[in-house]
Structures are given as C-alpha cells and as structure tokens.
Amino acid sequence: MTAVSRIATIVFTALILSLPLNADDKKPAKDTKIFPYYKVDEKPTMIVSPRPIYPEFALEAGIEGQVMVKIVIDKIGNVESANIIKSITTFDAAALKAIKRWKFKPAVHEGRTVSVNMVIPIQFKLDMDESHPAYCP
C-alpha cells in the first residue's frame, strides 16, 4: 500500500466515522444567527457593567490606553463571547474580565430577541472623571 493510498484510507475512514448512525442522531440546528449591531430593530441596552480594574503596575507606571473588544450578546442579554480586536497587553485581561460580567437587555429584531455582535472600546485613562462610562478606578 502506497503512502497516498494509506492517507486516502485514513481520510475516508474519518469521514465515515463522523456520519450519524441514523437520521435520529442528527439534531436540528439551533437558531444561532448573530445579527450585526446596526441591523437590529432595538439595540441591546446595558443593565450591569462592572468597570475594569486598572492594573496596579499600569497605575504606578502611568500607562494609559484603549482596548477594543468584539462581543456577542446572546438572546437573554449575557455576553456569550468576548475577543480582543485591538490589544494593549497591559489592559487586555482586565477588560475581558469586566466585560464577561456585563448584562444587557437583549437586542430585538422583528419582534423577537436575537443575538448581536458589537465592538466595545474600553478606555484606561488616568485622569478620567468618575462620571465617564469607561472610567476605571
């Protein structure tokens, strides 16, 4: 048996093993559509938004910056996923930790709640006023 035919046999076997045994094994797909923020009829509204904790070493060193995070808000208003799209390594972990605890009134499209994705800027600035929504003490 040549190397090519062995590889073909392995690929074919893996493909066969991945198929369901019968039609009952196949579960219906969940409604997993995620809408872009600008396409929903009612935007998600923030309910709970704990602020990120400013990293102590960044405070001491006077480091400031902004982290951009792409989030998916699910149909019940939880942050389903959060991914850094513009990183400042010093602040990434603090931003993600805070955002994952945020809660929203879910987005609505055509009369039903839907999942939505959006990008959130998290500003780490030393001289921000406490009234600023991105203030991080």
Q: Name the pLDDT band for 8 (thresholds 50, 70, 90).
A: very low
pLDDT at residue 129 in the model: 56
CA distances from 30 to 27, 33, 34, 116 (A): 9, 9, 12, 15
CA distances from 78 to 48, 107, 118 (A): 10, 11, 13
Judge whether residue 25 has pLDDT over 80: no
Q: What structural domains does the chain harbor?
A: 28-124 (3.30.2420.10)
pLDDT at residue 39 in the model: 95
Please name which of 86, 44, 42, 41 lies closest in space to residue 65, comparing C-alpha atoms.
86
Which is more confident, 117 or 88? 117
The answer to which of 13-17, 112-116, 131-135 has the lowest mean pLDDT is: 13-17
Task: Report pTM.
Answer: 0.69
